[in-house]
Amino acid sequence: MRKSHLIKPVLGNDYPVISHGKGIYLYDKEGKQYIDGSSGAITANIGHGVQEIAEALWNQAKHVSFVYRSQFTSDAAEMLAEKLAEYAPDELKSVFFVNSGSEATETALKIAIQYFQEQGVFTKTKVLSRWTSYHGITLGALSMSGHQLRRQRFNSLLEDFPVAPAPYCYQCPLKDSYPGCGVRCADELENIVQAIGAEQIAAFIVEPVIGASGGAIVPPDEYYSKIRAICDKYDILMIADEVMTGMGRTGKMFAMEHWGVIPDIIALGKGMSAGYTPMAATIVSDKIMNTIESGSKVVMSGHTFSANPQSAAACLAVLHYIERNNLQENAALMGDYLQNHLQRLQWKYSLIGDVRGKGLLCGLELIKDPMTREPFELSNKITDRLLSICFEKGLLVYPAVGGVTGFSGDSILISPPLTVTKEQINDIIDILDQSIGELTNQLIS
Ligand code: PLP
Give yes or no: residues 296 and 352 share one domain: no
pLDDT digits over 109-161, tens only? 999 999 999 999 999 999 999 999 999 999 999 999 998 888 999 999 999 99
Q: Are 227 and 240 in contact (CB under 8 A)?
A: no
Number of domains in the chain: 2
Long-range contacts of 172-177 (CB under 8 A, 24+ apart): 173/131, 173/132, 173/404
pLDDT band at 1 (very low <50, low <70, confident <90, very high): low
DSSP 3-state of 423 = helix
- Provide φ and ψ at 417, rounded to 5°: -55, 155
Residue with CA closest to ligand 1 atom 7: 136
The CATH number for 377's domain is 3.90.1150.10
- Cα separation of 145 and 191, whole Å? 20
Q: Are 41 and 396 in contact (CB under 8 A)?
A: no
The answer to whether position 5 is within a domain reads no
- How many of the other CB atoms lie within 10 Å of CB of 157? 10
The answer to whether position 1 is within a domain reads no
* Residue from 42, 98, 135 whose mutation best tests the ligand 1 pocket (most atoms within 8 A of CB): 135
The answer to whether position 82 is within a domain reads yes
Give the side-chain half-sphere CA count within 13 A for 101: 27
- Cα separation of 376 and 369, whole Å? 9
pLDDT score for 403: 46
pLDDT at 402 over 90: no
Average pLDDT of the residues of the chain: 96
Domain finish residue from 292, 324, 356? 324
The pTM (predicted TM-score) of the whole model is 0.97
pLDDT at 407 over 60: no
pLDDT digits over 260-312, tens only? 999 999 999 999 999 999 999 999 999 999 999 999 999 999 999 999 999 99
pLDDT digits over 42-98, tens only? 999 999 999 999 999 999 999 999 999 999 999 999 999 999 999 999 999 999 999
Give yes or no: residues 412 and 424 share one domain: yes
CA 98 to centroid of ligand 1, rounded, Å: 13
Enter the ipTM. Answer: 0.99
Residue with CA closest to ligand 1 atom 8: 212
Name the helix (H) or strand (E) containing 406: none
Q: Please, which residues bridge with residue 399 across strands? A: 412
Q: Please, which residues bridge with residue 127 across strands? A: 203
The CATH number for 112's domain is 3.40.640.10
CA 406 to centroid of ligand 1, rounded, Å: 15
Residue (of 270, 280, 245, 273) closest to 358 by Cα position: 245
Buried b or exposed e, range 86-107, using 16+ CB within 10 angstroms: ebbbeebbbbbbbbbbbbbbbb
Give the side-chain half-sphere CA count within 13 A for 402: 32
Residue (of 347, 162, 354, 361) closest to 255 by Cα position: 361
| DSSP β-ladder status, 352-358 and 361-366 | antiparallel
- Cα separation of 430 and 8, whole Å? 30
Residue numbers of the domain that contains 244: 53-324
Instruction: Calculate mean pLDDT across residues 171-197.
Output: 96
Q: Please, which residues bridge with residue 395 across strands? A: 35
CA 249 to centroid of ligand 1, rounded, Å: 14
- Around ligand 1, the residues with Cβ closer than 6 Å are 41, 100-102, 105, 134-137, 207, 211-212, 241, 243-244, 269
Q: Would you give the distance in Å from CA 171 to the centre of its chain?
A: 20
CA R_g for the chain: 21
Residue with CA closest to ligand 1 atom 13: 101
Q: How many residues appear in the chain?
A: 445
Give yes or no: residues 275 and 212 share one domain: yes
The answer to whether position 357 is within a domain reads yes
pLDDT band at 379 (very low <50, low <70, confident <90, very high): confident
Residue with CA closest to ligand 1 atom 1: 135
Give yes or no: residues 277 and 333 share one domain: no
